[in-house]
Amino acid sequence: MTRALLLLRRRLVGSVFVLLIVVIGTFLLLEAAPGDAVDAYIVSTGGDAGMIELLRHRWGLDQSALTRLANYLWALLHLDLGQSVTFSRPIRDVILERLPNTLLLMGSATALSFGLGSALGIYAGARPGSFRDRFLSIGSLALYAVPGFWLGLVLIIIFAVDLRWFPIGGIESIASGKTGLDRAADIARHLILPVSALGFIYLALYLRMMRAGMAEVWRQDFVLAARAKGLSRRRIVLAHVARNALLPLVTMLGLQSAQMLGGSVVIESVFSVPGLGRLAQEAVASRDTPLLLGIILVSAVLVIAINLLVDIAYAFLDPRIGASEASA
């Protein structure tokens, strides 16, 4: 426990500097882009020069970029993300409304891809070179080559349009009045297709990594010693080979968190899921810089938190790594 706390403290200190770089870098990139929220507003609604000047003053766009950056960093110290230009509401409230949907989509897709992918990888790697090994390896390679948005559209056409088994999009039935378990079942039914579209791509990656890791572990001396002792193949696979091949998958789980978040943006657009991805699209379309900064900041915090959990899990799975990190 002490080792994990020391590792957590080191990671948290480094995370502060990472978030600072993300905020400043994103702010400068958005400043370099042409146009601002006033331009987007005038294009959509119209207005004269007096209104443009009034809006720039109201939204603080008449100040210099350095002043606005300093004001934004000062507000962040007080956990204030500012006001959304598009929604005229605190950005924290807007993000908290959409964040649970994105977390639910990401969490379900991660559980599907990691759980089923590692299980199929163990099944394929238990007998290297067999028919099932070759079949799953080729199938996973083909699945990994499929773009997520294309897979999502195919699933919609087959299961939502033709067979009518699942809803086309959304997170739950509108004005259904469902509560409790009925509402949970309705949300689960809406999430089956988007979770499948997002999870199957990464399922192929975890399957191939697990299979490759097991193929390498099979050649280790301790596996040969276990076979020489007369242990059953099932016990060798589960207690020795799969356990040691699982460590690279845990590392990849943290590295893939950012890509999973980026993939959820596309899937949310395809299935009309009201999450951070669609919110980011709305912020870009309206040039709502404070809202977009808030979304990117929350996304960075989410990725860092996932990697922290993965580091702690890795320290428990491999005590040598945890001890070296804590003593460094």
pLDDT (tens digit per residue) in 12-32: 777 888 888 888 888 888 777
What integer pLDDT is reported at residue 240 of this predicted model? 67
Cα separations in angstroms, 232 against 120, 125, 236, 246: 20, 16, 6, 20
Phi-psi region of 274 (alpha: psi -120 to 50; beta: other; left: phi over 0): beta
**What does the alpha-carbon distance between residue 281 and residue 271 come to, in Å, rounded to a whole number?**
14
The residues spanned by each domain of the chain are: 1-91, 98-325
What integer pLDDT is reported at residue 326 of this predicted model? 45
Whether residue 108 contacts residue 191, with contact meaning beta carbons closer than 8 Å, is answered with yes
Tokens of 291: 């809202």
Tokens of 13: 């200190």
Name every residue whose Cβ is closer than 8 Å to that of residue 314 and which is 6 or more positions away in sequence. Answer: 247, 250, 251, 321, 322
CATH topology of domain 98-325: MetI-like fold (1.10.3720)
pLDDT in tens, the chain (328 residues): 555 566 667 777 778 888 888 888 888 887 777 766 666 666 666 666 666 677 776 767 777 778 888 888 888 888 888 888 888 888 888 999 888 988 888 888 888 888 888 888 888 777 777 788 788 888 878 887 888 788 888 889 999 888 888 888 888 877 667 777 888 888 888 889 999 888 888 888 888 888 777 777 777 777 777 777 777 777 777 666 777 777 777 777 777 777 777 778 788 888 888 888 888 888 887 788 888 888 888 888 888 888 777 777 766 666 555 544 444 5
Choose among 216, 207, 217: nearest CA to 249.
Answer: 207
What integer pLDDT is reported at residue 42 of this predicted model? 66
Q: In 3-state terms, what secondary structure has residue 168?
A: coil
- As a 3-state breakdown, the chain gives helix, strand, coil percent values, each rounded to 5, of 80, 0, 20
Q: In 3-state terms, what secondary structure has residue 90?
A: strand
With the CA atoms of 129, 135, 137 and 141 taken in that order, what torsion angle do they form, in degrees rounded to the nearest 10?
150
Whether residue 189 contacts residue 271, with contact meaning beta carbons closer than 8 Å, is answered with no
What integer pLDDT is reported at residue 45 of this predicted model? 63
Name every residue whose Cβ is closer than 8 Å to that of residue 218 and which is 6 or more positions away in sequence. Answer: 125, 128, 241
